[in-house]
Amino acid sequence: MTDEGSNDDVELEVRLAEQDEFEPPESFVEQANVTDAGIYEEFEENWPDCWEGAADLLSWDEDYETVLDDSNPPFYEWFTGGKLNASYNCIDRHLPERADEAALEWVGEPVEEDNRTITYEELHREVNEAAAVLRDLGVGEDDIVTLYMPMIPQLPIVMLACARIGAPHSVVFAGFSAEALATRMNAADSEYLVTCDGYYRRGDPLDHLEKTNTGLADVEHGVDTVVVDRLGSNGDDFGHDLADDQHDYDDLLADHEGATVEPVERDAEDMLFLMYTSGTTGQPKGVKHTTAGYLAWTAWTSQSVLDIKPEDTYFCAADIGWITGHSYIVYGPLALGTTSMMYEGTPDYPTRERLWEIIEAYEADQLYTAPTAIRSFMKWGEEYPERHDLSSLRLLGTVGEPINPRAWKWYYTHIGNEEAPIVDTWWQTETGGHMVTTLPGVNDMKPGSAGPALPGLDVQIVDTSGEAVEQGRAGYLTVQKPWPGMLRTLYNNDERFIEEYWAEYSDTDSDDPEDWVYFPEDGAKVDEDGYITVLGRVDDVINVSGHRLGTMEIESAIVGVEGVAEAAVVGGEHDLKGEAVYAYVILEEGYEGDDEMRAAIVEGVEDAIGPIARPEAVVFTPELPKTRSGKIMRRLLEDIANDEELGDTSTLQNPEIVEDIRGKSDD
């Protein structure tokens, strides 16, 4: 690099550091799907009919009668009376125009040259055959099918096959543990499972069927299992034989070659899928999404926020096992008939150029990823993206956690070349799709702030009494009106649904929708332009690399380890992961807080939840800081984890323990 070059770099850094507002690039605005700033007012005036446009993005077997039925809040219903099928909307209706265009571009781990382009026609065939397989197995409408697969084509194919026959899917992230699989299958009473023999991680085959079988041993009812062969002969080394109630997917497919299955007409409010997510208690929450509202919401936001057009090649680097992949790899993009990419591997294998190679080779138009990934790219250095032509990228997105302005600006310059707007999208498993974000062709961007609420949404930042806080003050994020993509309930648990999301700010005795307020349990502040900066969770949930983990779940895993008497887990700031898990552990008499015990605890957490929940640090202590009423003061443990000045310790029954723990944490 010449001296001149580095001067330019310094100038760029200085200019960027000072700039806190960015106009969307003109080249983007000229072609954007949404460019009229009047959309905010228009939606407000026409609410709730403003959502008819989103419904119009779908094909209906029967038109809906009512946009919103709010007669029984918070059990809102959308597009009632309408009938449709999600798989038809994501596949069949695109065939006349796009049969030979790619629906999915699957990029495998580079151990084999087995990348696949799956056209809409091929997707149609494979989803039909998969639907025939499921039916033949006995899956009926409304039977819940659990899917436990990594990023292989069969995952979206079987999801869409479920949708085709009206069987809700419940996808369990493949990185989750056997125990997590069993908990979810038991909770959903799910009698069907589609899994695979294994998959590759950094080139090595991994035994997934072993984990599946361990999980199945804890499922309380009979299960028919279908096993996809991902590893071919590489999987034979694991030496598993299939049990009587386990079937080889390819064998079943062979019996249904060329089969067609009519898409089942589903009511707008029929369940499309369940997705379990962590909460404050140990028991995960089964978030229920329905057919029309969810599909309309993901299609509309894919179009307005991600600016997806049918001719795009769109790349979301998330895993389909999380809501981001459901909404923005599968349902939203395919509903619009675009080409959606799927990458099986990790961004740093075989090299740190992997993602940029893929984007260059496929000429991806959008990249949607998480701040945790962006911070890793930044740490690795810009030399990796610089070796590739990324000029195809028209829009960048982030999701999962707040993005710090420095990472935002790095993404903007080194990946987007200052020519692609960034959408920082705040939403949740429960909201179905985007809620707070700029519209990329309309709004200026402010790094670190997600942006205004989407048109038609009433988001307010309030204090503990529910009153709007002053601009710039920290408060609680609330959504004051329903929206089509919202969860409908927690599976089999209406009471917990109200308790978790509504009770805080609603008059729960009222029938008036005005008295019902949705609380996502995030802190936030708002500026003079209505831009919302999300500050993070205010419940006992830790956000590790954009994934939600309940402290209770982790604590109960730790307490399950022999020799552990008590444990408290908190989130501490982490350079790459955003937050990381810090565990404070009291041992039983006679046990030693040594490396062996530490390893046992880490293993216990990985077994119970998965590697994602692995504690960053395990600190042994004779006591935990407790209030006089015996409640653990997590706030103080958080201060310790973050190496911050300690908050008020005067209400503790054992104030001296705090300094003691701090001393131990520094070791």
Matching residue, tokens 């209770």: 552
> Which CB atom, from 297 or from 426, has the smaller least distance to ligand WT7?
426
Residue 592: partners with Cβ closer than 8 Å, 6 or more residues away: none
Identity of the residue, 525 or 548, whose beta carbon is nearer to ligand WT7 in the bound complex: 548
CA contacts within 13 A on the Cβ side of 287 = 22
Closest to ligand WT7 by CB, 84 vs 453, is 453
Which helix or strand (DSSP H or E) is residue 554 part of? Answer: helix 551-559
Tokens found for residue 37: 């700033």
**Nearer CB in complex with ligand WT7: 256/409:** 409
Give the residue, chosen from 534, 613, 618, 641, that forms a contact with ligand WT7 under the rule CB under 6 A: 534
Cα distances (Å, whole numbers) of residue 608 to 179, 186, 410, 578: 6, 15, 36, 22
Q: Taking CB under 6 A as the rule, does residue 323 contact ligand WT7?
A: yes
Q: How far apart are CA 422 and CA 21, in angstroms?
A: 12
402 contributes a contact to ligand WT7 by CB under 6 A: yes
Residues 597, 563 contacting (CB under 8 angstroms)? yes
What are the strands of the beta sheet with 313-316, ordered from one edge? Answer: 116-119, 102-107, 339-343, 313-316, 366-369, 395-399, 422-425
Among 342, 373, 399, 461, binds ligand WT7 (CB under 6 A): 399
Which residues, including other chains, have CB under 8 Å from residue 309's CB and lie 6 or more apart?
33, 336, 338
- Of 88, 120, 377, 426, the one binding ligand WT7 by CB under 6 A: 426
Does residue 350 have a cis bond before it (omega within 30 degrees)?
A: yes
Q: Which amino acid is at 305?
A: V
Segment interacting with ligand WT7, rule: CB under 6 A, options 136-144, 415-423, 545-553, 621-629: 545-553
- The residue range among 20-28, 73-81, 393-401, 653-661 that interacts with ligand WT7, by the rule CB under 6 A, is 393-401
**Interacting span for ligand WT7 (CB under 6 A) from 49-57, 226-234, 420-428, 553-561:** 420-428
**Whether 557 contacts 609, CB under 8 Å:** yes
* Minimum separation from the CB atom of position 588 to ligand WT7 (A): 34
Look-up of token digits 């200085």: 14
Binding mask 428-457 for ligand WT7 (x = CB under 6 A): xx--------------------x-------
Q: Compute the residue count for the chain.
A: 667
Minimum Å distance from CB 175 to ligand WT7? 14
Q: Which of residues 511-530 bind ligand WT7 (CB under 6 A)?
A: 520, 522
- By beta-carbon proximity to ligand WT7, the closer residue of 456 and 546 is 546
Stretch that binds ligand WT7, among 206-214, 304-312, 422-430, 502-510 (CB under 6 A): 422-430
> What residue is closest to ligand WT7 based on CB?
429
**Residue of the chain from 401, 540, 579, 639 that contacts ligand WT7 (CB under 6 A):** 401
Distance of alpha carbon 306 from alpha carbon 217, whole angstroms:
42
Q: Candidates 41-49, 93-101, 534-542, 638-646 — which segment interacts with ligand WT7 by CB under 6 A?
A: 534-542
> Out of 225, 324, 366, 551, which residue is the one contacting ligand WT7 (CB under 6 A)?
324
Window 189 to 218, contacts with ligand WT7 (CB under 6 A): none
Q: What residues between 267 and 306 interact with ligand WT7 by CB under 6 A? A: 277
Secondary structure (DSSP) of 66-131: EEEE-SSTTS-EEEET-EE-HHHHHTGGGHHHHTTSEEEEEE--TTSS--EEEEHHHHHHHHHHHH
**DSSP one-letter string for 474-539:** -EEEEE-S--TTS--EETT-HHHHHHHHTTTTS-TT---GGG--B--SEEEEE-TT--EEEEEE-S
424 binds ligand WT7 (CB under 6 A): yes
According to CB under 6 A, which one of 326, 394, 481, 548 is a site residue for ligand WT7?
548
Q: Which stretch binds ligand WT7 (CB under 6 A): 58-66, 93-101, 307-315, 399-407?
A: 399-407
Q: How far is CA 279 from the centre of its chain?
A: 14
Contact between 543 and ligand WT7 per CB under 6 A? yes
Binding span for ligand WT7 by CB under 6 A among 25-33, 62-70, 198-206, 544-552? 544-552
How many chain residues are in contact with ligand WT7, going by CB under 6 A? 23
Specify the residue, 127 or 151, whose C-beta has the smaller distance to ligand WT7.
151
- For ligand WT7, the closer of residues 205 and 371 by Cβ is 371
The SS3 call for residue 181 is helix
Nearer to ligand WT7, 312 or 424 (CB): 424
Q: Whose CA is closest to 317, among 408, 381, 392, 400?
A: 400
Task: Count CB neighbours of 186 within 10 A.
Answer: 13
The yes or no reply on residue 400 touching ligand WT7 (CB under 6 A) is yes
Helices (H), 108-219: 120-137, 154-165, 178-188, 208-216
- Binding residues (CB under 6 A) for ligand WT7: these are 277, 323-324, 399-402, 424-429, 450, 520, 522, 534, 536-537, 543, 546-548
